Amino acid sequence: MSATPRVVVIGAGIVGANLADELTARGWDRVTVLDQGPLPLTGGSTSHAPGLVFQTNASRTMTAFAGYTVEKFTGIDVDGAWCFNQVGGLEVATTPERLADLHRKQGWATSWGVESQVVDADECVRLHPLVDRDRILGGLHIPSDGLAKASRAVVALARRAEARGARFQGSTRVTGIEQAGGRVTGVRTPDGVVPADVVVSCAGFWGQELGAMVGMDVPLLPLAHQFAWTGQVPDLVGRNDELGEASLPILRHQDQDLYFRERVDRLGIGSYAHRPMPVDLRELPQGEDVRESSMPSMLPFTEEDFAPVWEQSRLLLPSLRSSKIDTGFNGVFSFTPDGGPLIGESPDVAGFWIAEAVWVTHSAGVARAVAQLLVDGRSEIDLHGCDVHRFEDVQLSPEYVSETSQQNFVEVYDVVHPLQPRMSPRDLRVSPFHARQQELGAVFLEAGGWERPHWYEANAPLVDELPAEWVPPERDAWAARFWSPIAAAEAWRTRTAVAMYDMTPLTRLEVSGPGALALLQRLTTGEMDKSVGAVTYTLALDEAGGIRSDLTVARLGEQLFQVGANGPLDLDHLRRQAPDDGSVQIRDTTGGTCCIGLWGPRARDVVRGLTADDFSDDGLKYFRAKRARIGGVPVTAMRLSYVGELGWEIYAGADNGRRLWDVLWAAGQEHGIVAAGRAAFNSLRLEKGYRAWGHDMTTEHDPYEAGLGFAVRRQKTADFVGRQAVAGRSADTVGRRLSCLTIDDGRSVVLGHEPVFVDGRPAGYVTSAAFGHTVGRPIAYAWLPASAAVGTSVEIGYFGTRIAATVTAEPLVDPGMTRLRG
Ligand SMILES: Cc1cc2nc3c(=O)[nH]c(=O)nc-3n(C[C@H](O)[C@H](O)[C@H](O)COP(=O)(O)OP(=O)(O)OC[C@H]3O[C@@H](n4cnc5c(N)ncnc54)[C@H](O)[C@@H]3O)c2cc1C
C-alpha cells in the first residue's frame, strides 16, 4: 500500500483533535498535530469551553454535525470518565413569541430527525426544578442534548489518534507555511520545518493569522463572551458526585440571552447579553508567552457587564438568590458574518485547508466532513453553508466581517424570521436600476451584498384591480412578515401582461479560451458542444453524482461561454478545475453587467418597436441567445424564463443598464408593464417547478431524486464528472423525491424547513414554499420518500399545528410549455 499524505494539523483544540482522529480512522496515519500552547490544555477556546451541546438549528447540516458529535463523544472516555453526559437540553420561553419560536424549532428538530417535545411549564420544572414555574410559559425539551467535556474529549481523541500513528506536539508555534509550485510543502516553526503534503489550520480564533500566511481571507472575528461559575447552590448540594458532575438538563433562557449548566453543586452561566467585545489578537499573549500564559483565550471578567444578567439569572432560578458568583472570565471564540463555520482549501496554495469558527457542538461533524473531503474528495453532508468560499468579495472586507460578526453575536438568541434582512451594512451592491427602483418604491431585501427588490409599492393600486381569483388570502402574522399582497398583483401582471425583473444579482461567469468547451463538457451533465447561440440548462455533479450546482450555459462564441451560476462557490469550483496551462480564462462578470428579465405574454410587444433585430419565435427560439440592440443598447438576449412566460433575459453592460431599463419601461407602458420583485418571482418559479440550488437540492441529492434527470444527457459523447455514479439511476430507481405539495385549505402558507408527515410519521421536510398566485393555492416543495406518490395526503408541521397538503403533479402551471414557446 502506498504511503498516505503527510498531514500537519495546526491546533490541538477540539477541532484539530477530532480531525486527527477522523483522518487516522481512515488510514491516514502520518498526521502531526502542532499547537503553540502546552498539551492538552493549550489555552485555546476548547480549554475552558463549558461544552453545552444544543443540537437543533435551522441548518440541516449543522444539526447533522451536532448529532454526530453527540454520537461520537458518547462512545469515548478517558479512563472511564465521560466525554458526553446526555442530560438533555431545555430551552424555556418567557414570552409568547419565544414559545411560538420553540414550536418552530421543534419543527426543525423533527425535520432533521432529532427527537424533541414542546412541554408545558410544569414539565419544564419537573425536568429542571430550579426554574421558577411562574416565569415561564413552556419549553423545548431535547433528550439527546447534553454536555460535552471538550478538554477531556481532546485527550481521548488524541490518544486514539496517537494509537493509530498520529503525533501531537505542544509548545510549537507555526510561524509560516512553506510552499513550492503553488502547493504546501510544510510548516515553519521555531524548531525548524515540519514537512507536509497537506496542512489543515484548526487554529480557532487565530484563524486569520494562519490564513494570512498564505494570503487567504478567513472571515471570522474573535469576540469575548462572558461565562461565570457560581459558588455552591444550596438546592444542588448532594445531587451529583464529582464524576457525574451534572444531571439537570442544560438550560437556555434565550429571552435574556443566557444559558446554564450544572457542575456538581454549582451552576455555570453564559451570557450573550453584553456589548460585543471584539478581541485584537495582538493584545493576546504571543509566541513564547503562550507557553507561560495558561489561557490566552481567557480575558479578565468585566463584572459590570455581568451584573444585569446575574439579576436575570436569579429571577429565572430563584435558588441562586442564596448563592453568589465565584469566578468568571471573558472567553474568546470566533464569530462569522453568517454564523456558519469556515471550511475549505486556499484558492492559491493547494493543500492548505482551514476548519475554523467551529463550536464544540459541531466539532466532530465538521472534522468528519473535512476528513472525507481530504480522503474521499467529497463530504457526505452538504457543505455549501460552511464553505469558506461562499462569501462574495465585498463580504470579505474586515469592516464587513467585523460588523456582521458582532451583529451575529448580538442576535445569537434572537427570534429571526427567515426573510429578515440585516439592517447594516446595506447598499453594498446595487444594480444600475437602483434609482429607478427607489422611485417605484421598491422594498429591498439583501442577499450576497445585493439590494434586491421584493415588491414595488408603486404597484399597490393594482391590488384593488385584482380579479377575485387572484386576490391572495390573509396570512398569519409570521408568514405576513416581509411579504405584501402587492406580490400577487406583480405575479398577475406577469402572467397576463408583462413585467421587468432585475436579475442582475444572479452570478454570471465568463468562461473563455481554447480549453473552455472541454472544461465545461467535463464539468457538466449537458451537451456543451452546440452551435453558437445555444443555451443549455445543465448540472455540475460531484464524483458521487451529487448536485454541486445547476447552471445555465450560453455559448456566445466558439470559445466563449456565459455561465449563469449560483454564486461564489461555482466560481471557485470552475477555477480549481480549469487547466493551469492558460487555455481557459474564467471571470466573474456579474458586477460589470446587468440583466432584466422581461417576461409575460406581451413581452414581444414591448421590444418590437425598440429593435431592428428579430425577436420573433423563429428569430430567437426558446433556449437560444443572440446579440442585439434594444433602444440602441447593445445586449445579449436569451430566450428563457424562470417564471414560465414568454420573454428574455436581457443582458447589458452595467453602464448601459439605466438606459435599458428606461427604454423598456417607456415602451412597456401601453402594454401594462410593471416592475416586479422577488416575492412574485419565487411564487411563479415554484408554480413552474424550477428548483433553487442550495434550497431544493444540494450535493446530497442526485439529479433523478431532484426531478432533474432531464438535464443529464446520457448520449453525450464527452465524459463528465459524476457520469459513472448516475449511470444506473433513473426516476424509477430513486428512494426519495423532491415533491410538489399543494396546501389543501388553499390559504396556509409555510416558509421552508417545516417537517412533513406521511401517515402521521415524520417523512421529510419542506425546501421552498410560496403562495401560488396563478393556481390560487400555497405550494411547498419537500423531500419525501418516493412511495409518497401523486395524490398522497400529507401534513406539514407549522408552529406545532398540522396543515393538510397533497402531493401534486408538477409543474402546476403550463406543463405543456405553450406559454414559453409561444
Ligand atoms: C466562554 C465560552 C463558552 C463557550 N461555550 C460553548 C458551548 O457551550 N458549546 C459549544 O459548542 N461551544 C462553546 N464555545 C465555543 C467553543 O469553545 C469553540 O468554538 C471551540 O472550542 C473551538 O475549537 P477549536 O479547536 O476550533 O479552537 P481552539 O480550541 O481555540 O484551538 C485552536 C488551537 O490552535 C492553536 N494555534 C493557534 N495559532 C497557532 C499557531 N500559529 N501555531 C500553533 N498552534 C496555534 C491554539 O493554541 C489553540 O490550541 C464557547 C466558547 C467560549 C469562549
Atom of ligand 1 nearest to the CA of 47: 29
Atom of ligand 1 nearest to the CA of 290: 47
Q: Per-block average pLDDT, block size 10, for the chain (822 residues)?
A: 91 98 98 97 94 97 98 98 98 98 98 98 98 98 98 98 98 97 97 98 98 98 97 96 95 98 98 96 72 77 96 97 96 96 98 98 98 97 98 97 96 94 95 98 96 98 97 96 98 98 98 98 98 98 98 98 98 97 98 98 97 97 98 98 97 98 98 98 98 98 98 95 96 97 97 98 98 98 98 98 98 92 74
Give the residue carrying C-alpha cell 493543500: 351
Residues 547 and 158: their CA atoms lie apart, in Å, by 35
The total number of residues shown for the chain amounts to: 822
Residues 298 and 225: their CA atoms lie apart, in Å, by 10
Backbone phi and psi for residue 138, each to the nearest 5 degrees, phi listed first: 160, -170
Query: 675-686 burial by CB neighbour count: b if 16+ within 10 A, else e?
Result: bbbbbbbbbbbb
- Strand partners for 186: 178, 195
Residues 191 and 397: their CA atoms lie apart, in Å, by 34
Residues 191 and 365: their CA atoms lie apart, in Å, by 33
Q: Contact, 493 vs 657, CB < 8 A?
A: no
Of 273, 260, 268, which is closest to residue 316 (Cα–Cα)?
Answer: 260
Q: Contact, 539 vs 703, CB < 8 A?
A: yes
DSSP conformation class of 422? P
Residues 497 and 671: their CA atoms lie apart, in Å, by 7
For residue 16, report the distance from its CA to the centre of ligand 1, in Å: 10
Atom of ligand 1 nearest to the CA of 360: 11
For residue 680, report the distance from its CA to the centre of ligand 1, in Å: 44
The count of other CB atoms within 10 Å of the CB of residue 292 is 8
Q: In this structure, which residue's CA is closest to atom 53 in ligand 1? A: 331
Q: In this structure, which residue's CA is closest to atom 1 in ligand 1? A: 331
Residues 810 and 791: their CA atoms lie apart, in Å, by 12
Q: In this structure, which residue's CA is closest to atom 50 in ligand 1? A: 49
Helix and strand totals (H; E) in the chain: 20, 43
Of 202, 195, 200, 192, which is closest to residue 180 (Cα–Cα)?
Answer: 195
pLDDT at 822: 67
Q: In Å, how far are 55, 270, 655 from 90, measured between CA atoms?
A: 11, 15, 55
- Strand partners for 330: 226, 299
Atom of ligand 1 nearest to the CA of 362: 11
Rg (CA), the chain: 28
The count of other CB atoms within 10 Å of the CB of residue 814 is 17
Atom of ligand 1 nearest to the CA of 363: 23
Q: Contact, 628 vs 617, CB < 8 A?
A: no
Q: Contact, 514 vs 559, CB < 8 A?
A: yes
**Helices in 164-279 by DSSP H: which ranges?**
207-212
Of 340, 378, 332, which is closest to residue 356 (Cα–Cα)?
Answer: 340
pLDDT at 294: 65
For residue 202, report the distance from its CA to the centre of ligand 1, in Å: 9
Supply 760's cell numbers: 402521521
The count of other CB atoms within 10 Å of the CB of residue 821 is 13
SS3 content of the chain, % helix, strand, coil (to 5): 30, 30, 40
Give the residue carrying C-alpha cell 472544461: 519
Supply 478's cell numbers: 409570521
DSSP letter string over 181-203?
TTEEEEEEETTEEEE-SEEEE--
For residue 90, report the distance from its CA to the centre of ligand 1, in Å: 24
pLDDT at 469: 96
CB-defined site of ligand 1, < 6 Å: 10-16, 34-37, 42-46, 49-52, 150, 173-174, 202-204, 206, 210, 225, 227, 270, 331-333, 356, 358-361
Residues 671 and 679: their CA atoms lie apart, in Å, by 22
Q: Contact, 396 vs 215, CB < 8 A?
A: no
For residue 70, report the distance from its CA to the centre of ligand 1, in Å: 18
- Helical packing angle, 96-111 and 60-74, nearest 10°: 70
The C-alpha angle with vertex 422 and arms to 419 and 425, in degrees rounded to 5, equals: 150
Q: In this structure, which residue's CA is closest to atom 15 in ligand 1? A: 359
Residues 6+ apart with CB under 8 A from 241: 264
pLDDT at 287: 59
For residue 735, report the distance from its CA to the centre of ligand 1, in Å: 40
Q: pTM score > 0.85 for this model?
A: yes
- Supply the residues annotated as catalytic: 225, 259, 550
Of 812, 739, 806, which is closest to residue 773 (Cα–Cα)?
Answer: 812
Residues 616 and 635: their CA atoms lie apart, in Å, by 16
